[in-house]
Structure formats: C-alpha cells, structure tokens
C-alpha cells in the first residue's frame, strides 16, 4: 500500500481516543481487516486517515484521562497465511500517559 498524508492534532493538543474501520471476514473472498483509523484530539478535533472504504467503524475507545494523551501503541497482525488470504493489521491498542 501507499502512505497517506500525515494527520496531526493542532499545536498543544494530543490524541485521546480512536476507532478503527474493519472489514469482517468474507470467507472465500479477499479479506482486508483494518482499513482506516480515526482519532480525537484533546481539543475535540477529529482526525481521519485516508484508508480504504471497506468495513464499518467500531466504537470510540475510552478516552485518556484528563491531562493524559496517547504515548504508545500495540498492534495485532495476522501471521503470513502462506497459500491463504493475508490481512495484515487486525487491531490496535493505544496507551495513555500523563
């Protein structure tokens, strides 16, 4: 795939919540899994990546506590399926720090 342009919070703000757009498994068809990420900045701005249109948006994550922001992440990736259908990114956890 190709990188999209960066999306950033306004100066002095930080990410506090996110959600993913994920396509459910399609059986015999080509699966894509996570296709886009949206995030909320501490001032309320919403950032949305330019991912693919497949799938549906999940719920917003619990927001970071007041005064805290996202400082780390963990990703869940599907291992190579060899002759099967690879999806790549399947989920994301973001961690808050103050």
Band (pLDDT 50/70/90 cuts) for residue 63 is very high
User: 18-53 pLDDT, tens per residue?
Assistant: 998 888 777 666 777 778 889 999 999 999 887 777
Q: Where are the beta strands (DSSP E) in the chain?
A: 15-22, 34-41, 46-48, 56-57, 69-77, 89-97
DSSP single-letter state for residue 63: P
Q: Which domains does the chain have, with CATH numbers?
A: 15-79+86-97 (2.100.10.20)
Band (pLDDT 50/70/90 cuts) for residue 9 is very high
**Window from 13-17, 33-37, 71-75, 78-82 with minimum mean pLDDT:** 78-82
């Amino acid at each position: 795939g190709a990188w999209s342009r960066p999306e950033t919070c306004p100066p002095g703000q930080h990410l506090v919540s996110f959600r993913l757009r994920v396509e459910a498994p399609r059986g015999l068809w080509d699966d894509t899994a996570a296709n886009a990420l949206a995030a909320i900045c501490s001032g309320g701005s919403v950032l949305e990546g330019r991912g693919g249109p497949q799938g549906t948006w999940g719920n917003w994550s619990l927001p970071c506590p007041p005064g805290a922001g996202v400082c780390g992440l963990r990703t869940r990736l599907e291992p190579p399926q060899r002759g099967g259908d690879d999806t790549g990114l399947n989920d994301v956890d973001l961690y808050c720090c103050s």
